[in-house]
Structure 1
Amino acid sequence: MFDPETTEQGDLREGRPPWRKAGATPDFRSPARNLRCDVLVVGAGISGALMADHLTARGHQVCVIEREQAGFGSTLASTAMLLWEIDRRLGFLTERFGFERAANIYSHSLRSVAGLAALVRDRGLDCALRARPSLYLAAGDIGAAELRHELALRQRAGLPGVFLDHAALRRDWGIEREAALLSPGAAEADPLLLAQGVLHAAAQGGATFFKAEAVRYESLGRRAGVVLASGHEIEAGAVVLATGYVLPDIVTSNLHNTGASWAVATPPQPPSSLWRDRALIWEASENYLYARTTSEGRIIIGGEDEDGMGKREDRAACAPAKAAALIAKLAALYSRAEARAETIWSGAFGTTQDGLPLIGEVPGHPRIFAAYGYGGNGITFSYMASRLVARMIAGEREAWYDDVAIDRAAP
């Protein structure tokens, strides 16, 4: 039995995330022959699960391949903070794209969190998903004036939220910061249970699952295919790459960078030691601190991000110092908490210069689609990608898809 407390998967993560309620996944069997299907999904983490579920719901014959254990790579390392707010502020994206385009992207992100919550409800998935507000704290060069400007843009876009000044944060939240934006519409979940539940929903919809590794991708006119390490081939009407933060060689972007993030989980806390409304907390800075609570009353706090760190042994060597730094930051952020690390873990993650994902057909490889560069919006963008890619496969197109295209221009 795979033990998430002690086992690493590739170079995606290591350590002990607190998601220990590992359930069963659909049966993954080794392919015994060449296969054909409508859509082949490569990867069975949360991104692949959402892709498979949605594509089967649209009537496609879907095959999913996974080289390791489903959900135990990037997904297990996730802190599953389901934020609709994007790593880059609406003000930044307004300067980059113009207000209308930037507001549209933010609105789609808000709807993605709502859509994911509806999917969990409609499928009856038991994954500890809870609606939460988000608390976006002033930090670094972003103070009260900048947050007021950000709120004004959000209100113009029809996005929810209110401004909290220093006095309100101290009085109502026990947090000493200059200001914050408080917004509804976010959520939290257990990412492993979520991925496993969605995989089961895809299986019930008719998806089939194989234990296999893709070693070569091919575009075949109106179809695409992969060659497996076993030598077998799978031909499909479309191939969807949902391989977490492992980008195949055919996917290149001058926007993308891979980094590492660390997180710790405290022991379960008494209710009096948890902040108001158990909001998702994050900072208005580039390398931001982020925090949430769990259904068991633990506090998860993460950050201390580093560029590179692609090897798990490098991340593991940094773990004691990173844990100490995160615990010190938790104590400074919220003094009522028992600031003690019970578990620590880290993982690779992909970011982009403009904070937006890379979603769409892989340039130069017709009928092969990909979704990467999720940054801090991993599961939110996974849901968004599943909807966009399904429409692209069907030949549907909207102008804003260019804003997340893999080959879009750098900011």
Structure 2
Amino acid sequence: MNIQYVQGKPLFTTINKDKKQYSYLAENLETDVCIIGGGVTGAIASYYFSKNNIKTVLLEKKRIAHLSTSVTTSLLQYELDDNLSELQEYTTIENSLKAYNLGIKALKEIEDFIDAYENKCDYKKRDTLLYTSKKNEINSIKIEYDLRKENGLGVEYIDENTNKFSFDLKAGIISKNGGAEIDPYKYTNQLLEVSYSMGSKIYENTEVIEINHYDDYIDVITEFGCKVKAKKVIVATGYNTSLFTNKNFATKTTTFNVVTKPVSNFDGWVDKILIRDNCDPYNYLRTTIDNRLIIGGEDVSFIPGIFDENLANKKYDILENRLKSMFKYINNIEIDFKYCGTFASTPDNLGFVGPDKKHKNLWYLLGYGANGILFAILGAMMLSDLYNNIPNKDINLFKVDRFDN
């Protein structure tokens, strides 16, 4: 079944005109690791495995970074989707705080990558803002602030009296150097460019249609009959895992985005900070290197194969009106792009990293939640350690079977 994960004209694949193209697989190969999926997660995996001298082949069924990666906002922040106190039903505060600190580690990994290989992906370090405009949510923001501050995270509390933004804010937490923004299309391609230079083989327009498990390897069969024999297979296919397992990993929703034309001023948007509100589902906002504004959210339940254009247009209108009401001092806000895509969430806000429970040579790298890119970085580091028999206890946070009865 052809499930549509992306609708509309995404910003990043549209504005990037100089597109590198890889060939399709036309021969049989043997490798240490075969990565299935050529979005940002697969590219991250390719980079870390190649960096650790592990022979790698990456297969993408369509074009590199043109599916779910094309609609990611790439608003990167260490915090999770839900506040710490709200996650206690599913995990401990200690685990959530550990995830926060791992997120900071992943942000540093991106910075180190940029330092080593230049900034070819419009990377910019940013502070982040979590806020509420509702009086009855002030206490929950205060609790979150206290927990972060007590545990050594660099945070600042703001309220109505100290609010410098143009929108209504009753309480908020500014996390210093708590996030970053990138162009996900450029980042994916830069990772693959570096991976390729280190020996990784990369193929696009190469759909995997079958995998066959053996004791010490897996045969990966492509639609044109070519075979990749791999000691390990990394599933980096995002939300589409049906070829590998019947397991339902996450709750899928459709999230909507609108992007403006470049604006001439940012009055009321202090320091172009990354913004997230405390709503459920929440809204998120960022700027771009060419001075656009992006707002996303208004999530609805994902229904495979069904796209409701009227509903999408209503959501786009809501987001546009919210953006204009929040930033009434920014001149000439005009919408340029509207698109939507699939978003997946888990009860504890973490992704899934590690071996399949039935097939020891099948490993998952699924960066679900708002921190998908950061989880992919952490997971790729953990899996390359696992391949080299280096223990990493943090992988237990992302265990594939942690919600199984």
TM-score of the pair, normalised by structure 1:
0.91
Q: Aligned partners of 2:136 and 2:104: how far apart in 1?
A: 23
Q: 2:137 aligns with which of 111, 135, 143?
A: 143
Give the superposition deviation at 1:61: 0.9
Residue 381 of structure 1 aligns with which residue? 375
1:180 partnered with 2:175 = no
Q: Aligned partners of 1:102 and 1:142: how far apart in 2?
A: 24
Alpha carbons 1:42, 1:241 under 8 Å: kept: yes
Residue type at the aligned position of 2:8: G
1:189 partnered with 2:182 = yes
Q: Aligned partners of 2:17 and 2:359: how far apart in 1?
A: 36
Q: Aligned partners of 1:252 and 1:157: how far apart in 2?
A: 39
Alpha carbons 1:80, 1:190 under 8 Å: kept: yes
Residue 20 of structure 2 aligns with which residue? 25
Write the deviation string for residues 303-327 of structure 1: whole angstroms up to 9, x where unpaired. 110111333x615443321111101
For these two proteins, the number of residue pairs brought into alignment is: 399
Alpha carbons 1:91, 1:150 under 8 Å: kept: yes
1:13 partnered with 2:6 = yes
Give the superposition deviation at 1:102: 2.3
1:147-296 matches, cutoff 5 A: 147-169=141-163, 172-184=164-176, 185-211=178-204, 212-253=206-247, 256-273=250-267, 275-296=269-290
Unaligned runs of 5+ in 1: 1-8
Residue type at the aligned position of 2:147: L
**CA RMSD, Structure 1 to Structure 2 (Å):** 2.1
Q: Single out whichever of 345-354 and 131-140 deviates more from structure 2.
A: 131-140
Alpha carbons 2:354, 2:399 under 8 Å: kept: yes
Give the superposition deviation at 1:259: 1.2
Cα gap change, 1:250 to 1:10, in 2 (>3 Å):
closer
Residue type at the aligned position of 1:335: K
Give the superposition deviation at 1:274: 5.8
Residue type at the aligned position of 2:165: W
TM-score of the pair, normalised by structure 2:
0.92
Q: Secondary structure at the match of 1:271?
A: coil
Alpha carbons 1:125, 1:194 under 8 Å: kept: no
Q: Percent identity?
A: 22
1:106 partnered with 2:100 = yes
Q: Aligned partners of 2:54 and 2:219: how far apart in 1?
A: 16
Residue type at the aligned position of 1:27: Y
Alpha carbons 1:278, 1:293 under 8 Å: kept: yes
Alpha carbons 1:263, 1:302 under 8 Å: kept: yes
Unaligned runs of 5+ in 2: none
Alpha carbons 1:10, 1:73 under 8 Å: kept: no
1:297 partnered with 2:297 = no
1:63 partnered with 2:78 = no
1:314-393 matches, cutoff 5 A: 314-337=307-330, 338-372=332-366, 374-393=368-387
Q: 1:400 aligns with which of 386, 394, 404?
A: 394
4+ residue runs over 6 A deviation: none
Q: Secondary structure at the match of 2:161?
A: helix
